[in-house]
Structure 1
């Protein structure tokens, strides 16, 4: 069995998608459709920068999705493959869940781009710059990181936001609480505890205004049953019902990204290969989560051709 997986924020880089667009008309079509949907030249920003503008959440989120979907569609269309024939599940990390839903046909590409643009804007606007923060702990498991967050909160918000792997957890909340959490984590045995260069505290209760905005937008969006089951971040389990997909996407804005549990559950269900499209972020996490499966990351045309030859 095989799962196709999609990266989250942080995978963006100036130059992304350029070589793929030069090599494939299929990729160019994806980037053009996203540009048309957003009414902006996002592809130029992706390929030429400036980097600080690409890093903005409202640009990074649709850009990462577009790059991932372009990579997948080149494989499927040029290889003559269909998604259900080659993948048993799809999943994505945070915004990557939208990429996964788009890949599985639950949300069309233009709608996905518009939803992610709004999601990025709403998440950035939810908390004034400087009031929130995030930090990554290396060498602490989820239970340990959650205990650190609870101790550091002291009346403020401090939550375990991303359960990425057995050795990597991200916490999110008020900046002062995150600063305390970094110190406590080191005292509790974390090998490293570092602030993340993000502009907002994602996946914690401070994001409730963004969750409300996404609830309104998703209520108006056309959501279909996916071609293959999608593992949802907040329940670490497959979801197929459109109304449930919407509910979980809203909950995801303030909820923990249960990536470790999602990968482990797919491996327990029989997945032996995880294939990441458009980045090298979530694939390597698989190695730290399970020894039942292997993972590869597909970014370049050569990666696509090499993988297609194995199908």
Structure 2
């Protein structure tokens, strides 16, 4: 059984999507539609923007979403879009829901662009950071966070794979966790280069405005189940989808648990739709028996379609 998975922030790269635009009219038409909807040429940022430009959250999020949806459109246009379920990592959840028909492309793009702006602004209002904790047993994490939380807010942001957890929160608290982690059994602890403490309570300034944005668009029941980050459950109901999207902003991304849920439901083949291979690497560590592939470049599209 096949599942499509869609990447989130951090998968961007300079020149992303350019060969899809140049090689496939379906991708080019979708990208030009996005330029018009956004009121600026996001494709210029994708194709020729610097790494620094692509790291700006308000540009990163629509760029990754658009790349993923262009790749998905190419799969669908060839009748190869037969996934039984889908999931997306953080931002990628919007791509998964759009693919599953729960939200239109135009509405999803507007929400993603607004989400990126709100998260970037929240990062300025409540300065925070994130760090990767590698090789620590989940049982030890609670004690680490409890000790570090004496310096401020800190929580698990992403359960990416067994032994890879990202934490998020106030700068002093995250730095304290990084300092303490080796003595708690971590193989490595490293602060990440990010513009805010994503998936933590420090994103609360974005919550009310994101709720307004989500309420302003129509959600439909998904045509295939989408395993949602905040609950690690397969969801099709439109009202539940809207609620979980808002919850996701300040909640942990339960990626390991989501992949396990999908495998239990019968997924044996995972196709990463969008830039790079980050999710394939994570899934390999979660489920060694899974079949993995990706659709990113024109060459990989041809491989899928052949």
| TM-score interval, normalised by the smaller of the two chains | over 0.9
1:221-261 Cα offsets, whole Å, 9 max, x none, are 11111111111001101111111111000000000000000
Distance 1:97 1:283 in 2: 16
Please state whether the residue corresponding to 1:11 is helix, strand or coil: coil
Corresponding residue of 1:304: 301
Distance 1:205 1:136 in 2: 18
Distance 1:74 1:146 in 2: 43
Corresponding residue of 2:264: 268
- Contact 1:45 / 1:54 at 8 angstroms: preserved in 2? yes
Q: Which runs of 5+ in 1 are unaligned?
A: none
- Contact 1:149 / 1:159 at 8 angstroms: preserved in 2? yes
Q: CA deviation at 1:155?
A: 5.5
1:182-230 Cα offsets, whole Å, 9 max, x none, are 0111111111100000010000011112122111110111111111111
Q: CA deviation at 1:106?
A: 1.0
- Contact 2:270 / 2:292 at 8 angstroms: preserved in 1? yes
- Contact 1:132 / 1:173 at 8 angstroms: preserved in 2? yes
Q: CA deviation at 1:52?
A: 1.6
Corresponding residue of 2:63: 63
User: Residue 254 in 1 paired to residue 244 in 2?
Assistant: no
* Higher deviation after alignment, 242-251 or 296-305: 296-305
* Higher deviation after alignment, 152-161 or 168-177: 152-161
Corresponding residue of 2:16: 16
CA RMSD of aligned residues (A): 1.4
TM (norm. structure 2) is 0.96
Corresponding residue of 1:245: 241
1:69-97 Cα offsets, whole Å, 9 max, x none, are 101111220x234x4xx111010000000
- 1:169-208 equivalence runs, <5 A: 169-208=165-204
Distance 1:8 1:49 in 2: 18
1:125-157 Cα offsets, whole Å, 9 max, x none, are 113378311000111133333331222011611
- Contact 2:71 / 2:296 at 8 angstroms: preserved in 1? yes
TM (norm. structure 1) is 0.95
Please state whether the residue corresponding to 1:154 is helix, strand or coil: helix
Q: Which runs of 5+ in 2 are unaligned?
A: none
1:18-62 Cα offsets, whole Å, 9 max, x none, are 011111001101211111111110001110113322211011001
- Contact 1:137 / 1:168 at 8 angstroms: preserved in 2? yes
* Higher deviation after alignment, 16-25 or 295-304: 295-304
Among 128, 141, 164, which residue is 2:160 paired with? 164
Q: CA deviation at 1:177?
A: 0.2
The number of aligned residues is: 305
Distance 1:64 1:21 in 2: 14
Q: CA deviation at 1:272?
A: 0.5
